């Protein structure tokens, strides 16, 4: 039987639960990205695992049940909104009215806008300051959170792997080394080797046939920000007999390590480059 491939960053399962975002949840998401960005190097790019971490934070804070893909789409929505705002503000004579939270543009220019831009720019804009800080590095008081030349290129595409901040002077930022993911992978390798050596040297403890020693692992996967199809793929892999050591390790791993392993496994399953 031919198996249908599921691309991790494009799966939108028909069973994926619809989530209605409240304003405080949207603001929390934008603030999360802003805080995360403050500790990163110039040219840092948000990747899939960062959206997964943000989804986990939202679920812990609000119990939303939101997935990585849903956070990804919400992030791209605000990034596209900022492109429209930045393009309008770059034109001579236009400005932002902080009292009314609206972009001031001429009626003649409004007539030339596309429908989405017209709807956005002709009414008060929510989260203007958060979008400004996240996508340009400038805070509301005019200070810079990042290098002064680092800001968003309003002409970049919307591919989820290209969500980055470009230098308007032509500077091409370096690729994100994914330090946290590499560190987690090294931890996985070292821990699994140590656990394997321990299991070989000692007899396994007696476990009652009626008790599932990995019940906590299945419960954590059920609450992870994954689609149902992604949970099935991960569950089928971990349920196989040859993955008993891996299941035991993941049962005792932290949430961060578990999510990093799940992300790495799904990408390798579909042959995607990290």
**pLDDT tens digits, 54-107:** 999 999 999 999 999 999 999 999 999 999 999 999 998 899 999 999 999 888
Q: DSSP 3-state assignment of 144?
A: strand
C-alpha count within 13 angstroms, C-beta hemisphere, residue 187: 15
Q: H or E element: which one contains 167?
A: strand 166-167
Q: What is the DSSP string of 40-105?
A: SPTT-B--HHHHHHHHHHHHHHH-----HHHHHHHHHHHHHHHHHHHHHHTSTT-EEETTTTEEE-
Among 100-109, 113-122, 142-151, 238-247, name the one with the lowest average pLDDT: 142-151
| pLDDT at position 227 | 85
Q: What does the alpha-carbon distance between residue 102 and residue 99 come to, in Å, rounded to a whole number?
A: 8
Among 47-61, 145-159, 176-190, 235-249, name the one with the lowest average pLDDT: 145-159
| pLDDT at position 223 | 83
pLDDT band at 261 (very low <50, low <70, confident <90, very high): confident
């Amino acid at each position: 039987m031919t198996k249908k491939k599921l691309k991790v960053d494009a799966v939108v399962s028909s069973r994926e639960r619809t989530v209605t975002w409240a304003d405080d949840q949207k603001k929390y998401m934008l603030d999360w990205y802003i805080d995360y960005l403050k500790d990163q190097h110039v040219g840092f790019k948000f990747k899939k695992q960062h959206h997964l971490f943000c989804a986990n934070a939202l679920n812990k804070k609000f119990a939303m049940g939101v997935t990585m893909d849903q956070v990804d789409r919400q992030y791209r929505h605000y990034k596209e909104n900022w492109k429209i705002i930045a393009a309008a503000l770059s034109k001579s004579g236009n400005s932002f009215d902080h009292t009314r939270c609206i972009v001031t543009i001429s009626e003649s220019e409004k007539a030339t806008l596309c429908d989405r831009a017209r709807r956005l720019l002709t009414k008060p804009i929510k989260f203007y300051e958060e979008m400004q800080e996240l996508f340009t590095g400038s805070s509301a008081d005019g200070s810079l959170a990042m290098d002064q030349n680092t800001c968003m290129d309003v002409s970049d595409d919307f591919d989820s792997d290209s969500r980055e901040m470009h230098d308007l002077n032509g500077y091409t930022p370096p690729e994100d080394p994914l330090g946290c993911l590499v560190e987690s992978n090294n931890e996985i390798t070292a821990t699994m080797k140590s656990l394997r050596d321990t299991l070989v040297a000692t007899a396994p403890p007696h476990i009652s046939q009626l008790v599932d020693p990995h019940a906590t692992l299945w419960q954590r996967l059920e609450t992870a920000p994954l689609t149902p199809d992604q949970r099935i793929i991960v569950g089928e892999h971990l349920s196989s007999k040859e993955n008993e050591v891996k299941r035991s390790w993941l049962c005792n791993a932290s949430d961060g390590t578990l999510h990093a392993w799940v992300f790495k496994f799904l990408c390798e399953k579909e042959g995607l480059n990290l």
